[in-house]
A and B are shown apart, each in its own frame.
Chain A
């Protein structure tokens, strides 16, 4: 009997997961379809950019600075062995622009802004604000979900760019100002190694994709959360876990596409 019931529970989990994927896809399509309002009344989107983008600014800038400083220190220690400290600039810049900037900014964004979005929408649902909107013939997807989606998609590349720029500055502070790597070779090696189209633009594309993934996951988790206190807290946790996994998996795939030969 135990075998039958465990088989049954596996089956129901699988069916449930597929069901959710289908529902999430439909939710994503609906969000895109009803996006008109978030541009016609751009004020709605601006408000959400403030809450998800501007409020994440401090953590992004500080984290970027420290990541760059760590890269500067560790990179210097390793490069020193091969006598190529002057390549520190290209090491710091390439690792930030290609990988760490988009990925870490997206991870921070998921835990800072994504979880807030999930909790907000989940609570709106639990307190029946979503149903109230439907009663007033206001489409909650157009009014609540789509502006948050576009705010996330707009904010994410900007945050990642600021993260990378801050990181390069942190690497500069540690490498050039504190350790004393030659400033000219630091910048010129960096400019020689970082290609605008190949590295910087691909990083922007990455952060854009992460922005879409994180906001869709957070909004869907909020929208699909059971309308209880427990349900909302579970949904918030799932948002952070799933968006982090999604970011790292997408990053691997995008890297394989972009930089694999």
Chain B
């Protein structure tokens, strides 16, 4: 087995391809901000989640702290059950309020966490008791029109 220039070219090709993958992972993608390991799960029930989707972001004071991992319908109370995966660097008090908010006027929906003043922190598997549902535009317009009609009488 001797080394040939062909090997050099193929080596350069493979290295270039892998380098491109690394660039895609770190410069283009979010692997550099990826926190693979530590996260804990929280749950919350919302009476209406609007257009919230799995993988939607969870923010507290505007900082990304986690992602929505699962959405299902809780058939006991007929409410939406949202499972959230929160970065374990961030702890939240027991009386934290979860709100479904919209980024911008037409942007995607996310969950905002407003921490309360409790000294006991939420642990993995806990539930956020106080929640505020998404604002559904149709409902709001309906209410507005209804109020208008009431007022006009």
**What residues of chain A have their CB less than 8 Å away from a CB belonging to chain B?**
43, 46-47, 49-50, 53-54, 57, 93, 97, 155, 157-159, 161-162, 164-166, 168, 187, 190-192, 194-196, 198-200, 203-204, 261
Contact = CB atoms under 8 A, between A and B. Distances in A.
B30 A46 contact: no
B10 A46 contact: yes
Given A53-B13, A158-B13, A190 B28 contact: yes
B89 to A, nearest CB: 19
Interface residues of B, number: 27
Nearest first, the 8 closest Cβ-Cβ pairs linking A and B are: A158-B17, A165-B20, A161-B20, A196-B29, A162-B20, A196-B31, A161-B21, A194-B29
Interface in B61-77: none
Contacts of B20: 158, 161-162, 164-166
Interface of B: 1, 6-7, 9-10, 12-14, 16-21, 23-25, 27-34, 53, 55
Interface of chain A, main secondary structure: helix
Given A43-B1, A162-B17, A194-B29, 19 more contacts: A46-B7, A46-B10, A47-B6, A49-B14, A54-B13, A57-B13, A97-B28, A158-B17, A159-B17, A161-B18, A164-B20, A165-B19, A165-B24, A168-B23, A187-B27, A195-B55, A196-B25, A196-B30, A196-B34
A256 to B, nearest CB: 18
B34 A158 contact: no
Interface of chain B, main secondary structure: helix
A92 B67 CA distance: 24
A49 B30 contact: no
24 contacts: A46-B10, A47-B6, A49-B10, A50-B9, A54-B9, A57-B13, A93-B28, A155-B13, A157-B17, A158-B13, A158-B14, A159-B17, A162-B16, A162-B17, A162-B20, A165-B24, A165-B28, A166-B20, A168-B23, A191-B29, A194-B29, A195-B30, A196-B31, A196-B34
B29 A53 contact: no
Given A43-B1, A46-B10, A200 B29 contact: yes
A93 B28 CA distance: 7
A219 B54 CA distance: 43
Nearest to A151: B10
Contacts of B30: 191-192, 194-196
Contact of A204 (B1, B21, B34, B53): B21
B13 A168 contact: no
A261 B55 CA distance: 12
Contacts of A187: 27
B13 A49 contact: yes
